Each structure stands twice: as structure tokens, then as C-alpha cells.
Amino acid sequence: MGLIRTLFEYGNQAYEGLKQPTAAQQTKADAAMDNLPEPGTVTLSGQQQEQSSRPRVMIKEFQQGVGQDTAFVQQTLRQKLAEYGVTSVRGQVRLGRSETGALEISGAIPTEAKQKIEADINRNPDIKQTFVRLSNQKPALDYVQNVMRLQNAYGGDNSLFSSLLSSNPQNNSLQDIVQRFHKMGSAAAEMTANSGSAFSISIS
């Protein structure tokens, strides 16, 4: 009888172990699983705090805004060329500004068509405002992208670039950075792709 009772108790314990866990037990187990790190992610001590303390710059948003303005200017210029019968041009056609601030075209196009296009675009406030905005924003964006490429490739911080950024992300819009960029003067201008030449937009 003692042997039968012992076997019965072992069998009963095994059966109890196969039962589904209670709700309280399952909740406790789920909570423990939630605290486990996701596969492929590791958080080093102090790393999260260091990253969150760095100012954020939304490069993709800047690129999108500048890209849309550039496309608008290029499309307007193409439409004007077609309007005045300029269907083929050798080389590039560039839109820039003269010393007086007026928009002007350079390229191998007939003089009469060139004069008419320049007259039209200088009477168009949208194209003039967009071009002026681009002439301010594009060099600053080029500078930011260049610095960030260097940081990604070689590491380290650029003190000149850091001075463009605010610790408050809301103050790091492209317009904010552009204003600080131009206040920096020649120090920043020497590091842009457009330094030493007037800003212009070209179409092929």
C-alpha cells in the first residue's frame, strides 16, 4: 500500500505541473518578459542620456523643403523657355541674381527670349521670393549636411556646427539655423560648397 500511495502522489504532482498557470501567475510571467531587452538591442550605461542631450536636426525635413523650392524654380524656368520657343539649349541654363538684385539668366539662348523670360520672372513675386529663400537656405543646408557626413565618417564634434544648434529642438528649424549661419559670417561661408561663387539654380 505504501508503494501504491507513493506512486499515486508522484503522478498527482506531475499532473498538477501540466495544468495551465493561474491568471496571477501568467501576469507575473508576462511582466518579467516585458522587462527583457528586444532582440538585437543593447543599452549601454549613460548612452541614452548622452544621445537625448544632443540637439536634434531634422535633415530630411530641411531637404524636402529646399527640394520643393528648387523644383518650383526649375519647372517655372522650363515653362518659360518652352513658352518663348526655346526647345533645345546647349549646356546648362542658370538662373541667378545680378548686382542690382534682379533675376537674370545665363546660357546659350537667344537674346530676345532671354530678355522676355527675365522680364516675366522679375514680375513674378512667387519666383523671386522662392529664389531669395533658396539663396539663403541652400548654402546653410549644404554646410549642415557636409558637417554631419564628416561626423558620421570620422566621429567627433564640430564646435562651429554646434554653435548653430539650440538645446531646444523647437529652435532648430531650418530658418533658425539659417539665421545663425549667416551671423557666423565668413567662417561658415568658407566651409560651404557654394563659397566663392554666386548662388544660382541650373537646368539641363
101: in domain: no
105: in domain: no
Residue given cell 544632443 in the structure block: 54
Q: Tell me the average pLDDT of the chain.
A: 71
Q: With H, G, I as helix, E, B as strand and everything else as coil, classify residue 41.
A: coil
Residue 94 DSSP label: E
Domain of residue 70, residue span: 59-90+125-197
What are the grid coordinates assigned to 179, written together?
539665421
Q: For residue 112, what pLDDT is reported?
A: 95
Please name the amino acid found at residue 83. Answer: E
**CA–CA gap between residue 73 and residue 76 (Å, rounded):** 5
39: in domain: no
34: in domain: no
CB 60 within 8 A of CB 89: no
CB 164 within 8 A of CB 181: yes
CA distances from 73 to 10, 63, 185 (A): 84, 15, 27
Helix count and strand count (H, E) for the chain: 9, 3
Question: pLDDT tens for residues 185-203?
Answer: 655 555 444 443 478 888 8
Please name the amino acid found at residue 86. Answer: V
For the stretch 160-165, contacts whose Cβ atoms lie closer than 8 Å and that sit 24 or more positions apart, written own/partner, are 160/184, 160/187, 160/188, 160/191, 162/55, 164/188, 165/55, 165/57
174: in domain: yes
Q: Which of 17-31, 52-66, 69-83, 177-191 has the lowest mean pLDDT?
A: 17-31
20: in domain: no
Q: Residues, the chain, total?
A: 204
100: in domain: no
* Number of domains, the chain: 1
Range 61-87 average pLDDT: 92
53: in domain: no
Q: Residue 183's pLDDT band (boundaries 50, 70, 90)?
A: confident
Q: For residue 79, what pLDDT is reported?
A: 94
